[in-house]
Amino acid sequence: MLKEFKEFIMTGNVIDFAIAVILAGAVGLVVNGFVQDIIMPVVGHAMGGMDFSDLRYVLSPAQGVAGEEGFVAENAIRYGKWLNSIISLITVGLVLFWLGKTKIKFMGAAPDPDPTPDQALLAEIRDAVKR
């Protein structure tokens, strides 16, 4: 069983997948940093200096002083943080789309692989049925 596991874990697909996951995490950090540190301040500035994360609808205000007995925290719907998440999602999508388009432009689209023998046989059958 240990030998089978060693063979499985050392196959190219597992190692390639592990590398892809690690790179995806790194790219995710870069893209999220770009969105949070570059795009969101620009969006906030364009909206009159507003920080969306501060937007909320207070259902019940805080009562008392934080840290003292009887303190009740504010209960609010923080829709500003949700708006930040939506803007971040759209921006991350746009950045990833741009990266994909740039990759295709510089590296070219991957060529279509040759059909497998099964696919070639099915194509012949399809063409024969059409005639």
Which tens digit of pLDDT belongs to each residue from 49-79?
777 778 889 998 888 888 788 888 889 998 9
Q: Where are the domains of the chain?
A: 2-130
Q: What whole-number distance in Å separates Cα of residue 38 and Cα of residue 94?
A: 14
Residue 45's H or E segment, with its range, is helix 40-46
Indicate if the alpha-carbon torsion angle 95, 97, 100, 106 is positive or negative: negative
Q: What whole-number distance in Å separates Cα of residue 31 and Cα of residue 34?
A: 5
Give the global pTM: 0.51
- CATH code of the region 2-130: 1.10.1200.120
- What's residue 93's pLDDT? 82
